[in-house]
Structure 1
């Protein structure tokens, strides 16, 4: 927009409104002038009658007003805020309100919404539009596939951007994105902002180029432990935290009851036999590491892959003095790599079952040159080869993928958890209709889907995986395929979705009656996200199926960490070092009051739809109420706060 031709809210208050001050020629060609003028006049008259004199921020009444959303939205306008809400309770709604008000306040400013994946970006641009109705021709969805000249032109002409952080980093480093014009940055799935994640790079680069931007970070849970939460706070310049848990009084009226059931399944005699044999394989390949005193953990059944990785790092940083020959270094590095791989297989055996172990080891035995040393070492182990041949006879392959041997009536459950899962899902479908099952490994997802497919047409199954292809015959889902699977599940095309972690974050899959977690993760973040898939509009049930032993202990520790983090944040926020210099984005002396008004949004058209279609032009008329507020501007684009006035007082409003 041209700042010289733009009038602020104060300039137009209580005056007649000529067409040229509100609508440029392009917009006039698209909209009904008379209706717009009447709407603008009525909106300004309404605000004037309230005595606000323009010092307002807009809150929509087209959705039921929830006190916690109103309170959090206001805090986010005035401080860099980390918002932690259980999934389904309106993080995107809050983001839309905040973005919209900065869009009003800064007519030439840029607003950015970042999400970690392209499907999430595509979903959020539509979701935000449906809350506040920012005109689509002011919004842009940027991807790495957009040509550089086109990206530069979009940054010049558009005002609200939805993109992944990788794209934002690239555009900032190339000066394609005008950093000084960015006034509000929304970060979805903010718990990812650790280390050198692209989110961290974006905020760091913006801070290097300008200090005047607001940060709004969104997450269902802030981190797995205190250290992780502090990283997010530091990396995203967070000055204030708004956290609500399932127990928070102000959200209980808006969340449906969710029952949580933990089922612990013994490994059973058969699987324990394979467990013992596989430990014999591990003993052979860890023996040299213990003999050379670079691995001190003697209990093979309790050692973890992470402990092996840390032992290797210690060996690399400070090799023992008795290892003097470089050839010994190479041999031990190879032993570490092989043992880490074998312990991954051990985890698969314990958590997912024999079939997942077979698929993993088959990938080594039939894999590429990178596995040649591991393959050679394993072939020299009679214990491993006997176990491998037995699994090979038990399972076979076909053109359609990996199948169980034997007829259906003698279905082989490669882990007792599978049998329990089968029982839980079948019992569920006696009364309810929709199920989502999570498992971390693709081989397990495929196995679960094949098991449940035996119950067609009662159970109609679809798998859901990420983009990368891996393993034998396991092709990843493109982003277009991911969105199509989500749409079909939401519309009732099938009633059971078996998903990897790609289904945990963000994507709107609709209401689900039962969530089954087939594994446990150390981080509580993933469980919270999984649980958020149910209980949104009606009561939901969550079943967590755990193998007895290590997996059960992992789950219990994860829940303990989660409770500790929430208790610390809600009970004593001083435990964290908050960013002390949250920028003042409003002129000194201006503290906008909330003004609630109804905003009617038009029809959202996907970006590949023709913007010049008859249908598109007809729907433009339904933008009127949001166009009203779009043209009632409170312009702060030239404001730079005096540092001596604002300093480190992050409690003050503004």
Structure 2
């Protein structure tokens, strides 16, 4: 059933027909415009619109506004949106980052601009020298969940809150599933009120398109299982040897192993090096060995044979003691031989091709986004998908790292523009595509693997079902791999996250909340039976 004719907000500082009247946005605006608030809203529901409404309210009172965002692309995106929907001039809204404006020019820019959109590091450096926080009646913080520890948001707001006249608006799509960190954000920002919405809220439903989520359970090929079992032999031996150095490792098994557990052991051993001397160096080599073997196991079962072969090639070039230890193991030599001979069909890849092919045949204007954890997987998918008749696929990855050449910010922007215009219809992305950057809405989002993080799960889903168009989300899960545990972990954490935000909201309003219950689940089969 279609929505009523769109109505738009009228205001002297807002351009006609630019900001749609959405009930939930107006409800949130009315609650937060005069108090220190945190707004939790999923990707695609218009956090920046709400921020713009509050910003205009403050400008109408003759106050200036400071809008902070973690990266230069996000700053430029917010400034562009504000200029696009308001009657403010180019000089009224300025972007200030270390790259866009020299220190000499910044003092003059701060003095003239009504809205300064900036990275927090730049502002922290300029406080008291070129910029005075007392000039601003409102500070908006995008990705406010970062306001923990020694992040620049914390230092800036600490200074700002010492002023008599101050107001803070925090924005986030996903504040995380750690209640203590959420409370830390609230304390650091002086939050007095929380507004939260999700797709189930009554004032949101009329503005949402349908989003169909489905997971696809894939059987692991027998040949892959056999190689996995060989890896487990070497990994189990390594864990048993590690158990002689730390009791934390004694009960670890290959199928229940997480990188987080191994890194915790590694960090504890490093702290104890001074007390126990050189005996722990061998233990640290064993931890590194276990991390590398566990990673090989994970990418073989979750990413596929070709990506695993690439990792083995890297191991062969690795000069570390851990890699040498792996290469010297007789079973590892057998693992290499089996991988070299494997010509098994990659079921995840074939499923991906089938899903995308079918989707593009249904819609000429389809836009597909594929998320993959590793760059090697992204490269493989782009290569394979471009062999399909209707596919024009392109990679979207982060900037250059030690792992290899990435994309510059200019290349990232050009790729998104090309995707928006239809030069490409499939965008294959690493985690960079989960972040707050302005990616065009898609008709299908495909997770090549689940992610254990609630934040990342929500951000990935939020890339479809926007702008009045229905969307699909498909999650590929390899049976008997880490995929199953990761999927259920993200679901549990998402439930926790919303529960904790409501708990914080109730605490701030002087209410109490009962014990939060979240079911544990690790296997898809447990759900089916």
Return the TM-score normalized by structure 2.
Answer: 0.86
1:625-646, Cα deviation, whole Å (9 max, x unpaired): xxxxxxxxxxxxxxxxxxxxxx
Deviation for aligned residue 1:509: 2.4
Q: Distance in 2 between matches of 1:200 and 1:428?
A: 45
For 1:193, the equivalent position in structure 2 comes to: 147
Q: 1:180 to 1:389 in 2, by over 3 A?
A: farther
Deviation for aligned residue 1:571: 7.0
1:78 and 2:34 equivalent?
A: yes
Q: Distance in 1 between matches of 2:479 and 2:164?
A: 52
1:57-106, Cα deviation, whole Å (9 max, x unpaired): 99987433122111211222111111112222221111111112222323
For 1:554, the equivalent position in structure 2 comes to: 486
* Contact 1:517 1:544 survives alignment (8 Å): yes
For 1:6, the equivalent position in structure 2 comes to: none
1:326 and 2:277 equivalent?
A: yes
Q: Which runs of 5+ in 1 are unaligned?
A: 1-45, 48-55, 395-409, 579-654
Secondary structure of the 1:281 match is helix
1:168 and 2:123 equivalent?
A: yes
| 1:177 corresponds to which of 101, 109, 131 | 131
Q: Distance in 1 between matches of 2:509 and 2:25?
A: 25
For 2:520, the equivalent position in structure 1 comes to: none
Q: Distance in 1 between matches of 2:393 and 2:289?
A: 36
| 1:541 corresponds to which of 472, 483, 489 | 472
User: Over the residues paired in the alignment, what is the CA RMSD in angstroms?
Assistant: 2.8
Q: Distance in 1 between matches of 2:313 and 2:155?
A: 39
For 1:365, the equivalent position in structure 2 comes to: 316
1:352 and 2:303 equivalent?
A: yes
> Which runs of structure 2 are paired with 1:42-57 in the superposition (5 Å)?
none
| 2:429 corresponds to which of 499, 509, 516 | 499
* Contact 1:100 1:134 survives alignment (8 Å): no
Q: Distance in 1 between matches of 2:334 and 2:233?
A: 12
Q: 1:132 to 1:441 in 2, by over 3 A?
A: same
1:267 and 2:220 equivalent?
A: yes
Secondary structure of the 2:148 match is coil
Q: Which moved more, 1:559-568 or 1:462-471?
A: 559-568
* Contact 1:59 1:97 survives alignment (8 Å): no
1:524-560, Cα deviation, whole Å (9 max, x unpaired): 1111111111111211111111122332222123212
Q: 1:185 to 1:256 in 2, by over 3 A?
A: same
For 2:111, the equivalent position in structure 1 comes to: 156
* Contact 1:215 1:236 survives alignment (8 Å): yes
Larger Rg: 1
1:132 and 2:114 equivalent?
A: no
* Contact 2:40 2:172 survives alignment (8 Å): yes
Q: Distance in 2 between matches of 1:102 and 1:218?
A: 17
Q: 1:379 to 1:222 in 2, by over 3 A?
A: closer
Q: Distance in 1 between matches of 2:419 and 2:362?
A: 18
Q: Distance in 2 between matches of 1:564 and 1:293?
A: 32
Q: Which moved more, 1:112-121 or 1:435-444?
A: 112-121
For 1:50, the equivalent position in structure 2 comes to: none
Q: Distance in 2 between matches of 1:166 and 1:359?
A: 38
Q: Distance in 1 between matches of 2:337 and 2:119?
A: 46
For 1:100, the equivalent position in structure 2 comes to: 56
Q: Distance in 1 between matches of 2:296 and 2:158?
A: 39
Q: Distance in 2 between matches of 1:442 and 1:269?
A: 26
* Contact 1:519 1:544 survives alignment (8 Å): yes
Q: Distance in 1 between matches of 2:320 and 2:266?
A: 21
Secondary structure of the 2:194 match is strand
Larger relative contact order (C-alpha < 8 A, sep ≥ 6)?
Answer: 1
Q: Distance in 2 between matches of 1:469 and 1:564?
A: 33
| 2:357 corresponds to which of 400, 419, 426 | 426
Deviation for aligned residue 1:416: 2.4
For 2:381, the equivalent position in structure 1 comes to: 448
Q: Distance in 2 between matches of 1:303 and 1:507?
A: 33
Q: Distance in 2 between matches of 1:386 and 1:554?
A: 29
Secondary structure of the 2:79 match is helix
Secondary structure of the 1:250 match is coil
Q: Distance in 1 between matches of 2:214 and 2:67?
A: 36
Q: Distance in 1 between matches of 2:86 and 2:475?
A: 38
> Which runs of structure 2 are paired with 1:430-509 in the superposition (5 Å)?
430-432=361-363, 433-456=366-389, 458-471=390-403, 474-509=404-439
Q: Distance in 2 between matches of 1:193 and 1:577?
A: 22
Q: Which moved more, 1:130-139 or 1:442-451?
A: 130-139
Return the TM-score normalized by structure 1.
Answer: 0.70
The aligned length equals 495
For 2:5, the equivalent position in structure 1 comes to: none
> Which runs of structure 2 are paired with 1:300-311 in the superposition (5 Å)?
300-311=254-265
| 2:46 corresponds to which of 74, 90, 97 | 90
1:388 and 2:333 equivalent?
A: no
Q: Distance in 1 between matches of 2:378 and 2:195?
A: 36
* Contact 1:97 1:132 survives alignment (8 Å): no
Q: Which runs of 5+ in 2 are unaligned?
A: 1-9, 511-529
* Contact 1:189 1:505 survives alignment (8 Å): no
